[in-house]
A and B are shown apart, each in its own frame.
Chain A
């Protein structure tokens, strides 16, 4: 059944949605960022699995075979991982700042401290 052949895509979707849910539902900023990273990682896995060629090995030239998986997604995802890590770094820096300024990293407490918007 094609349904079960595509199990890898189901796993990616599951991971993605867990991450997405975490971002939306958890008020703790660190948890949000974890969720974000999970979300992005699932997308990366999806990309990489696109590149798998049947019976292909890792795209490094070796003597015993001539079938390799597609190297392009690997290169793309390496780049994307860099982007994701940088995002994580910036996010953490901002969260540290928030902790120093507000004394908390819970979103609802921050909103309360800020008061009504419209300044």
Chain B
């Protein structure tokens, strides 16, 4: 085992070991939280340490055990995976800080269970990010579904249990019914499941078979929330906000679109898809989701529900990028993984902060909140602008690349889709900000004078992520250079 592979192993085991420690330290909350934070920092450190290796073209690999003859549990780092891992681990630090503030202010129960499964989820995310073959990806993907279940059903109420059922139902039916079938079929066709530059399916089957296979893969990855398999996302909003923030803005949903991107680039291969035009249907399916989800978001009064549908819409941006099957599309989509993560997590942090400070969840009740929670609402504004895709915020760059990709692929109607989507984003996000700063107090909250700004532990992370949205605008070019390595084969 070379030095590089040890790093990869450490990256995987850090959150898992951390989870064990956290579970053990349940009785000493401060110690437990400290361990949680330290594990997050350590993990981010390891991931960023691997970064230069990957930039220089290396691919550190680490193999675990052989589950089936010929199928190893293997981790292998490449740029896209590293991107996802960096986002997940970096934002884990911020979410840990945020969770401390939120959980304590809310006096939530079962906090040890919460932090333990949080760590396990990040472990699963690292497994997905660094998966060297589709088999490993699948195993960690399923593991992620299982370990996020206790987080989604955290409150233990009947509503939470029902939501948990919807969550598991959608994710397992898609993964067992479609994804597993696709994987075994691929194994049958090619004899391998390794991720390779240029894909492994060229010349292995007829175009019809490949089309069916692609559909099975895309719909099988339920975490990407492509309609009609999106219902689990709003259902999972019943979880505490830190869960929604990290998992559904960053880890779980990004695992989904990351997997889609990875399969399109490394299993099918961009060239194959480009020449056969197999992904055209996907472009339209993604477009439909983008628009439909945005429209539904307009109708939602509950802030978290609105953000949930916004996420569904934004995820399909990434799927669209993958479906374009050209450099601009893939790079744009991948970049959007980062941009959307920062933007959406800011929005969720703010939603949670509002909930903690005022116990309000409906947009219609949030009149004049900006007066008493200015920091929060400004961060919300920044996050919204990034999601809408306006400069000088990061979201504008990913949107730009996606538009360029659409033009380059010759599907100009998609440009229109992206434009309309931006308008819809404005329509469902800006009113919140406007209402917070300008509109008079709503009739639902007569003279509430005891509203104050959110706790500090909640404020700091959301400020950092908001700042991130701004900073990413300037670092987009570096990201672009980093990501083009994915498409070069």
A and B, direct touch (CB closer than 8 Å): no
